[in-house]
């Protein structure tokens, strides 16, 4: 398919001269060749017409786990990228938590090879330490050359301050980005939920907010000492917001993300001991959830991630304290976010991570690469099993209200539209 005509699409792209205009968009060989009020359709053109069609720059998810290699029963790269495309994402950053861990250039090349010829582009994150064990730095420079866009151990915090320091110093030689999940394990102990009234009521061991905050404070001190660039994923406490805000005011190159589930859900949902809500970091209280939303709106939190983490039923459908942490999130991300944030903020925060990870941003203009997400921001539905496209079904959003509808994407000269 070479030519696609998108009819009556409202463009949501603050960087585009067509922002908030309803227009037709003509794409030829992956390039936007015309944007106008009415473009006539010709033979051999695929025409896309959808109810209340909106279009934005392609969305990028900065934290996605699949499984392959090693855990293909959870998710394969091919199906995972199809899920991402149908969920509106034109690009994803793949976490290194496969088996083996993506900690060398051959593993980076393997996942890139598996992701060829897909509509959604895969960008690998290399592990920061060998086997993500936190003791020795992995082959960072080699992985960068092979195509890794950043380095971090997924949901594992570097406990050794010196390793963290050396990593921040080392990657500066090639303008690398360090991703540091923050949690002090000695303070976390055997905790599995947020420490507070809910954990006491439920009789579950709590993880204090301090476990995250102390680690963030340490890493920001190290960043101030070393220089370089640091990305702190999935922050979840009020003090974390404050610490990052202060670090940015000092001029430190620090960015952060928050997960969709921390913006939409709170710890009160744990009352039924349903392990689908067991995530890392844990769901916090309602006051904190509102503070995270405020930090998204005021710009302290740079981007939003689905933190998509498929897990097989054997590891998830267990007693709460035995179940693995994690929820799938690609399919529900857009619809769940619209229940708590305005549309323009949602679009901005689903595209903002491109700048952080230095990925090309394709604004919606004539003669630019067509990398587009299609959606309808109106309407409501309940998220059910029928909405899940992933191989794994561990969604924290089952039976939750969502807003709007994702129609699909156009990227890499490929059109993916949901039925």
Catalytically annotated residue among 13, 307, 321, 378: 307
What is the rounded distance in angstroms from the CA atom of residue 398 to the CA atom of residue 387? 9
Is the confidence at residue 1, as pLDDT, over 60? no
DSSP 8-state secondary structure symbol assigned to residue 23: E
What would the pLDDT profile of 307-329 be if each residue is shown by its tens digit? 999 999 999 898 998 999 999 99
For the chain, give the mean pLDDT: 96
Q: What is the pLDDT of residue 44?
A: 85
Is the confidence at residue 40, as pLDDT, over 60? yes
Sequence length of the chain is 419
Domains along the chain with CATH numbers = 59-185+212-356 (3.20.20.140)
Q: What is the pLDDT of residue 43?
A: 84
CA-wise closest residue to 212 among 178, 179, 238, 230: 238
DSSP 8-state secondary structure symbol assigned to residue 58: P
pTM of the model: 0.96
- pLDDT average, residue stretch 162-181: 98
User: Which residues are registered as beta bridge partners of 151?
Assistant: 126, 178
Q: What is the pLDDT of residue 42?
A: 85
Q: What is the pLDDT of residue 419?
A: 77
Q: Please state, for a pLDDT cut of 90, what percent of the chain lies above it.
A: 97
Is the confidence at residue 207, as pLDDT, over 80? yes
What would the pLDDT profile of 12-37 be if each residue is shown by its tens digit? 999 999 999 999 999 999 999 999 99
What would the pLDDT profile of 237-296 be if each residue is shown by its tens digit? 999 999 999 999 999 999 999 999 999 999 999 999 999 999 999 999 999 999 999 999
What is the rounded distance in angstroms from the CA atom of residue 138 to the CA atom of residue 8? 49
State the SS3 of 140-190. Answer: HHHHHHHCCCEECCCCCCCCCHHHHHHHHHHHHHHCCCEECCCCCHHHHCC
Whether the ω angle into residue 224 lies within 30 degrees of 0, i.e. cis, is no
User: Which residues are registered as beta bridge partners of 126?
Assistant: 151
DSSP 8-state secondary structure symbol assigned to residue 341: S
What would the pLDDT profile of 369-387 be if each residue is shown by its tens digit? 999 999 999 999 999 999 9
Instruction: Judge whether 307 counts as a catalytic residue.
Output: yes
- pLDDT average, residue stretch 69-77: 96
Q: Cα 314–319–323 angle (5° rounding)? A: 50
């Amino acid at each position: 398919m070479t030519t696609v005509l998108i009819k009556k699409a409202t463009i949501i792209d603050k960087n585009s001269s067509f922002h908030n205009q309803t227009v037709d968009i003509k794409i030829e060989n992956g390039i936007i060749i015309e944007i106008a009020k009415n473009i006539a359709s010709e033979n051999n053109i695929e025409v896309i017409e959808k109810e209340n069609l909106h279009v934005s720059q392609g969305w990028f998810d900065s934290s996605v786990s699949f499984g392959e290699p090693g855990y293909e029963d959870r998710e394969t790269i091919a199906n995972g990228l199809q899920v991402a495309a149908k969920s509106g994402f034109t690009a994803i950053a793949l976490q290194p938590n496969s088996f083996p861990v993506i900690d060398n250039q051959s593993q980076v090349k393997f996942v890139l090879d598996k992701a060829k010829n897909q509509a959604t582009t895969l960008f690998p994150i290399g592990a920061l330490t060998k086997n993500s064990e936190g003791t020795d730095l992995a082959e960072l420079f080699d992985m960068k050359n092979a195509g890794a866009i950043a380095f971090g151990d997924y949901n594992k915090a570097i406990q050794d301050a010196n390793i963290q320091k050396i990593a921040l110093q080392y990657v500066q030689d090639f303008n690398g980005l360090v991703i540091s999940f923050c949690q002090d394990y000695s303070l976390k102990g055997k905790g599995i939920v947020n420490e507070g009234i809910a954990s006491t009521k439920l009789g579950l061991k709590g993880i204090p907010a301090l476990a995250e905050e102390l680690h963030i404070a340490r890493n920001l001190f190290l960043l101030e000492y070393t220089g370089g660039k640091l990305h702190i994923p999935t922050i979840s406490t009020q003090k974390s917001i404050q610490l990052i805000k202060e670090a940015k005011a000092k001029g430190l190159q620090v960015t952060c993300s928050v997960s969709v589930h921390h913006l939409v859900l709170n710890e009160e949902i744990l009352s039924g001991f349903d392990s689908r809500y067991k995530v890392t970091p844990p769901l916090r209280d309602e006051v904190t959830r509102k503070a995270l939303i405020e930090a998204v709106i005021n710009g302290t939190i740079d981007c939003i991630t689905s933190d998509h983490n498929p897990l097989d039923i054997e590891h998830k459908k267990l007693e709460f304290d035995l179940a693995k942490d994690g929820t799938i999130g690609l399919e529900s991300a857009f619809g769940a976010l619209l229940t708590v944030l305005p549309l323009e903020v949602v679009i901005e925060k689903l595209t903002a991570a491109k700048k952080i990870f230095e990925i090309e941003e394709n604004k919606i203009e004539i003669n630019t690469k067509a990398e587009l997400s299609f959606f309808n921001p109106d309407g409501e539905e309940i998220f059910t099993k029928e909405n899940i496209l992933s191989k794994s079904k561990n969604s924290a959003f089952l039976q939750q209200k969502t807003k709007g509808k994702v129609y699909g994407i156009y990227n890499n000269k490929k059109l993916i539209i949901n039925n």
